[in-house]
Structure 1
């Protein structure tokens, strides 16, 4: 079991961070019975220790910045303190742990979820810098295959367009769209040559479609231009949609792909 070797300053910061979160909780927040008289503010240390499965002495030392911890034990403490994802990641960083591979996916502002849902008739995706699909609205799943049906590590718009037959049936003219998305991707990737998400996607693309080697070798760049595309709906004929890539403020270089039926107004930029 790997144990962190955080500096004294980081350990002290972690202890203060955990203590602050402990003091915000009540017994009822974690399913414990309350008592009429409690001198301690928030949860007691022994209550957190029991919930996390550690000794009271060790948890006390952790808050005092006197001990290092394993990631597994810190995960248990985070669950006991009901830390949200951002707070959990911060605690791990203070303990000296690098993000796990699964933690590397970009986060996004929850308010962007409401932006997507504000387009009930326009299928829309929130995309990360490497075109990973981070979120989608209900209109998207009524027109396209549901992203939730795909493994998370393959939930990438460009990868799905060039490898998945269902996406290609929806968009018979997928090739120019995919090529322009790749140019958009290259523009961002060249600014972050060491980014793991870009390297991972490039490896998947080369492996899945070696016949498109000339695409992957192409160094041309450019922003994705708005266009009108024909999308084939279930049991119907192709229907024209306006396809626009809107830049989102969070995370950096994220974007929203919006597809608007041509008989409706184009959605405003968020």
Structure 2
């Protein structure tokens, strides 16, 4: 009886490893070199990324990654997280890969619930684009004014709905805000302030790893240890479409009370250099 149970357990574990390998292989074949910042070549016969390219991006050996896709080895959560980042897995796919590898979701993986009153605050500003942001600057909600001026977050994959990530990697966002660099740097200082207070939080680590992978040319930014709260400022935004004349907006980051540790980024149309958020 014990032998039968052991055999069944071994077979189930083998099936999970095989399923994980097929899952990773399918995602690898969907990616183009340009998706991960690699140059394309005309001589590619196989579709997607090569195994050696994923291995380099994840920081593992080619032989080990090959065995992982073939279902021949077990893996640690830390290494699987690195592979997931290399393959640009979204949150749902990342959780599925962890489940196939036998890892339960970490306590910090679930998205926290936020007070519905914060969402009502966003809707109370019909002319002021506003975002509800999580501690790691993930975009949790937005109002109609924001979707009208900026690329609609609903059309952006959930794994990429992060304000800082979009400002430093997304061309449409950078065209709308030509002076995006100082805003992004100030947001990064704000992020570092929160990350140092919560070193155990996965959200900060995942975002930092994504920023380093997607914008290695900004390595000096990501190595910076300076911190600080986001300072209100007036910026010029160039709307898409006919006319496209710059408009002045005052940007303010309003911090929600703990334990939510959320924030609201509100952009107020202004003709002056005083950035004051509208009254809720």
TM-score (norm 1): 0.61
Q: What is the CA deviation profile of residues 58-88 of structure 1, one whole-angstrom value per residue up to 9, with x for unaligned ones?
A: xxxxxxxxxxxxxxxxxxxxxxxxxxxxxxx
Which residue among 254, 257, 262 is the counterpart of 2:262? 254
- 1:102 and 1:150 map into 2 onto residues whose CA distance is 23
Give 1:128's aligned residue: 134
Q: Across the two proteins, how many residue pairs are aligned to each other?
A: 175
- 1:102 and 1:238 map into 2 onto residues whose CA distance is 41
Which residue among 244, 258, 264 is the counterpart of 2:252? 244
TM-score (norm 2): 0.59
- 2:197 and 2:107 map into 1 onto residues whose CA distance is 21
Which has the higher Rg, Structure 1 or Structure 2? 1
Per the alignment, do residues 107 and 251 of structure 1 end up closer, same or farther by CA in structure 2, a change over 3 Å counting?
Answer: farther
Aligned 8 A contact 2:130 2:146 in 1: yes
Displacement of 1:267 in angstroms is 2.9
Can you give the 5+ residue segments of structure 1 that lack an aligned partner in the other structure? 1-96
Aligned 8 A contact 1:128 1:251 in 2: no
Aligned 8 A contact 1:130 1:198 in 2: yes
Displacement of 1:253 in angstroms is 2.3
Q: Secondary structure at the match of 2:197?
A: coil
Displacement of 1:248 in angstroms is 1.2
Displacement of 1:243 in angstroms is 0.3
CA RMSD of superposed structures (Å): 2.4
Can you give the 5+ residue segments of structure 2 that lack an aligned partner in the other structure? 1-102
Per the alignment, do residues 154 and 251 of structure 1 end up closer, same or farther by CA in structure 2, a change over 3 Å counting?
Answer: farther
Moved over 6 A (4+): none
Does residue 1:183 correspond to 2:196, yes or no? Answer: no
Q: Secondary structure at the match of 1:120?
A: coil
- 1:111 and 1:163 map into 2 onto residues whose CA distance is 31
Does residue 1:158 correspond to 2:164, yes or no? Answer: yes
